[in-house]
Structure 1
Amino acid sequence: MDIKTFNGDFFIPSNAKTAFVLVIATTDVSLIPGITVAGATPELTHFTPAADAEFLIKGKCFVINTVPVTPTGIPTPAIISRASLELVKIPKFVVNAGSRVKPNLPFIDLGGEPGKDIRRGSMERETADRLIKNGITLGEELSNAFDFLIIGESIPAGTTTAMAVLVGLGYDALDKVSSASPENPKDLKRRVVLEAIKDLPSELLLKLAKLSDPMLLGVAGIALGFKGKIMLAGGTQMTAAAAIIKEFDKEKLKNIVIGTTKWIINDPSSDILSLAKDIGIPILAAWLDFSNSRFEGLKVYERGYVKEGVGAGGSSIYAISKGYTATQILQKVEEIYESITK
C-alpha cells in the first residue's frame, strides 16, 4: 500500500477540481540557534519559505542562488511536492501569510506580518484577526472554482510554534512535535514553549496572537472559508492548524484530513497519531521509500532527515490517488534532483 490511513476514514473525492495552496510565513523563533535546520544558518531561514515557493512553482530559486538546504546539504522537501504536482498537473497557488522575504513570483497576500519570538508575543491581535478573516475570504473564493484543496506550508521552526499553540489550547503536546533533523531539539523547544505560555490570556484571538505563527492562522482561515474537502498537507504542524479550525468550527473537521509522509508517522521523537486523535482528525500517509535512491541526498530521508514540508506528503498522496506509484514519484524526484545538482 502506497497510502495508509490512521484515526478514521477519509476519501479523496474522485474527479474533483483540485488545487494546491502553499502558505508561507516566518517568525523570529527560527533565529534561535539550534531550533531548526530549515536553512543553512539561522539568518537564512527567513529566505527558506520564499525560496521553497519559487522552487515549487518555477523549479529554481531567485531570493537565494541555490535550492533551500539543511546545514548538511539535504534538499528541501519541495522537491517531492514539485515532482508529485508535475505528475498530476493541478493549479498551484502561493499565499503569503507573513514572510520576511517575499518570493519573486505572483502570490496572494493575506495582509499578515512576520511573526516575532513567541516568548515575547508573536503578533498583534488585529494581525491575527485579519489573517483569519482574509483567509476565510480566500477560502470562500477558491470554493467557486475548486472542490478539493491541498494546503501545504513552509515556515522554519514551525513545529515549535505549533507545539505552543497546541499546549495553549489545552492539548497534551509537549515533546510530541517533529523536527527536520534526526536529533529533535526537544529540550530547547520545550523551554521556548513553556516560557511562551506564561501569563496566557484567556480570549482565543489574544492567545493565538501570542503563540501562533502567521502560517497556522492563514491555513486555518482558508480552511474555514472553503466549502469543499481539504487535505492539510504537512506533519505535526497541521495538527495545530486543525486545532485552531476546531476552535472556530468543530463541524468543519468532518471534511478535513491531514496528509503526511511515513517519515512523520514513524518518527520516534514525535507523536502525530496521538495529537490527531485528541483533536479528532484522520491522517493519510504517503508510504514513500527512498532507500534505493541513486542519490545519497535522498536516501537520508530514510534516516530521519527532513521528513515533511512544502506539502510533500499531501501532494504525494494526491498523485498516488490518481494512479501513480511511490516508485514513479521517486523516479520523478530523482529526475529533478539530478537537474538541480549538476
Structure 2
Amino acid sequence: MSTTFVIVVGTTDISLIPGITVAGASPELTHYTPAADVEYLLTGKPRSISAIPVTPEGIPTPALVTRALTYDVAKLVAFAGGRVKPKVPYIDLGGEPGGDFRRGPALSIEAVERILDSGKILGRELARLGEVFIGESIPGGTTTAMAILVALGYDAWGKTSSAGPHNPKDLKISVVREALARAGKIDGPIEALAEVGDPVHVGVAAIALGVLEGGGSPVLAGGTQMVAAAAIIKALGGDIGRITIATTGWIADDKSADFFGLAKEVGVANIVVTRVRFSDSRFSGIRAYDAGYVKEGVGMGGALYIAQRKNLPIIQLIDKEYEKLIGNNN
C-alpha cells in the first residue's frame, strides 16, 4: 500500500504572545516557522528564512526527523492560511491567517467553510492513493487546541502539551478564558472554529473527513493538537473509530499535559505511541528531545511510526540528516 504524508501549515496570531510557544527563536519568527518547516522538509533547505526553525535554545525543528525518516514517502503541503506562504508547491485550502481570538474571531465563517470544503475534496482524492498520514505545523497550536476542545464541550483546561520542557499552562488558560469570554455563547462547531480556532486544525480535520468519506482510515500524526482535530471530526459527523493518532513517547509521558485523558474524553481509541529515545545521537540538539524539548510537530510521531514499521535505523538516519543540515548552513 502506498503512503501519502500531508503536512497542513498555517499561522495563528496567538503565537505572537510572548512566552506562549518556543516553536521559533522569537515570537515574530513563529510566523515563518510553518513555511520554513515544509520548505526544508521538501528541499533540504529553508527558503523563507536563512536557517531551519529552532527553539530559543537552538533545538532544531521536528521537520528534521520527519525528513530523515520519510525520504521514500510521498509528501504534500496543504496551506490552510498563514502570514507567510511556503516557497514550495502547495495545495491552497482557501483559508486565512488565524487572528488573536482574544480581540475578535480567529477566522471568518466563510474561511472555515472554504477550508472544510477544500480539505474534504483533497482527502477524498488522497484516499484513492492508499494510506494517508496528516501532520501539522502551527506555532501556538497547543493553545488554540485547548480553546477548540473547551469550545466543543471538553474539559481540556491545562491539558494540552507544549513544545518546551516548561508548559506555560497558566498563560494558555488565561488566554483561552479571555477568548471564550469575548466570544460569549457559541452555537455549534463551525462557530466554535471561527471564534477560537485556527486554520490548521480546521484543515487537518477537513482532510481527514475527506479520507473517511473516500473509504480510508487516516492517521493523524501529532499529539494533543490531533486530539483537537479528532474532536472537530467527531463534531462534524466523522467516524473517529476509523482514525488513528500516531504520537511520540514524549507526548505520552508529558506530565504537564494529559494526552490519554483527552483522547479518552473525545473517544479516540486507536493510538500508536512511538517510543524512541534520542540519547544515542551524536548531536546535543537531537539529544535535547529527550529532555522535553519539541516533543512533536511536522508529523514526527507519524514519521517515527513509519520508520518503526520498516525497521529503519532511526538514530543513524536522523544524525545523517543533521550532518547534511550543518553542512548546508556552513
- What interval of TM-score do these two structures reach, taking the shorter chain for normalisation? over 0.9
Counterpart residue number, 1:178: 161
What RMSD over aligned residues (CA atoms) do the two structures have, in Å?
A: 1.0
What amino acid is the match of 2:253? Answer: N
What amino acid is the match of 2:16? Answer: L
Q: What percentage of aligned pairs have identical amino acids?
A: 53
Q: Which of the residues 63, 66, 82 maps onto 1:99?
A: 82
Where do 5+ consecutive residues of structure 2 fail to align? Answer: none
Q: Which of the residues 132, 135, 139 maps onto 1:156?
A: 139
Counterpart residue number, 2:69: 84
Distance in 2 between residues matched to 1:241 and 1:139, nearest whole Å: 14
Q: Would the aligned equivalents of 2:151 and 2:186 in 1 still touch at CA under 8 Å?
A: no
Counterpart residue number, 1:13: none
Counterpart residue number, 1:333: 318
What amino acid is the match of 2:35? Answer: A
1:63 equivalent in alignment to 2:48: yes
Q: Which of the residues 277, 280, 283 maps onto 1:295?
A: 283
Counterpart residue number, 2:111: 127
Tell me the secondary structure at the aligned position of residue 118 of structure 1: coil
Q: Would the aligned equivalents of 2:280 and 2:315 in 1 still touch at CA under 8 Å?
A: no
Q: Residue 322 of structure 1: CA displacement?
A: 2.3
Tell me the secondary structure at the aligned position of residue 270 of structure 1: coil
1:30 equivalent in alignment to 2:30: no
Deviates more, 1:279-288 or 1:165-174: 279-288
What amino acid is the match of 2:226? Answer: M
Distance in 1 between residues matched to 2:282 and 2:166, nearest whole Å: 25
Counterpart residue number, 1:264: 251
Q: Residue 147 of structure 1: CA displacement?
A: 2.0
1:117 equivalent in alignment to 2:100: yes
Distance in 1 between residues matched to 2:307 and 2:22, nearest whole Å: 28
Distance in 2 between residues matched to 1:142 and 1:340, nearest whole Å: 31
Distance in 2 between residues matched to 1:62 and 1:310, nearest whole Å: 17
What amino acid is the match of 1:174? Answer: W
Where do 5+ consecutive residues of structure 1 fail to align? Answer: 1-15
Distance in 1 between residues matched to 2:317 and 2:310, nearest whole Å: 15
**1:138-185 deviations in whole A, cap 9, x for unaligned?**
1112123x2210000000000000000001111111010000111111
Tell me the secondary structure at the aligned position of residue 82 of structure 1: helix
Q: Residue 17 of structure 1: CA displacement?
A: 2.0
Tell me the secondary structure at the aligned position of residue 89 of structure 2: coil
1:192 equivalent in alignment to 2:192: no
Q: Residue 103 of structure 1: CA displacement?
A: 1.1
The alignment's TM-score, normalised by the length of structure 2, stands at 0.95
Q: Would the aligned equivalents of 1:118 and 1:161 in 2 still touch at CA under 8 Å?
A: no
Counterpart residue number, 2:120: 136
Judging changes above 3 Å, is the alpha-carbon distance between structure 1 residues 337 and 46 closer, same or farther for their aligned structure 2 residues?
Answer: same
**1:68-118 deviations in whole A, cap 9, x for unaligned?**
1011100000011001102xx121000000021111111000000000002
Distance in 2 between residues matched to 1:122 and 1:330, nearest whole Å: 39
The alignment's TM-score, normalised by the length of structure 1, stands at 0.92
Alignment of 1:207-246 (within 5 A): 207-226=192-211, 227=214, 228-246=216-234
Distance in 1 between residues matched to 2:304 and 2:185, nearest whole Å: 38
Deviates more, 1:199-208 or 1:240-249: 199-208
Q: Residue 203 of structure 1: CA displacement?
A: 2.8
Q: Residue 318 of structure 1: CA displacement?
A: 1.3
Q: Residue 323 of structure 1: CA displacement?
A: 2.8
Distance in 1 between residues matched to 2:244 and 2:155, nearest whole Å: 20
Tell me the secondary structure at the aligned position of residue 34 of structure 1: coil
Distance in 1 between residues matched to 2:273 and 2:160, nearest whole Å: 16
Distance in 1 between residues matched to 2:108 and 2:44, nearest whole Å: 35
Q: Residue 341 of structure 1: CA displacement?
A: 2.0
Distance in 1 between residues matched to 2:70 and 2:82, nearest whole Å: 23
Tell me the secondary structure at the aligned position of residue 218 of structure 2: strand
1:317 equivalent in alignment to 2:305: yes
Q: Would the aligned equivalents of 1:98 and 1:214 in 2 still touch at CA under 8 Å?
A: yes
Q: Would the aligned equivalents of 1:233 and 1:313 in 2 still touch at CA under 8 Å?
A: yes
1:276 equivalent in alignment to 2:263: yes
Q: Residue 279 of structure 1: CA displacement?
A: 1.1
Q: Residue 189 of structure 1: CA displacement?
A: 0.1
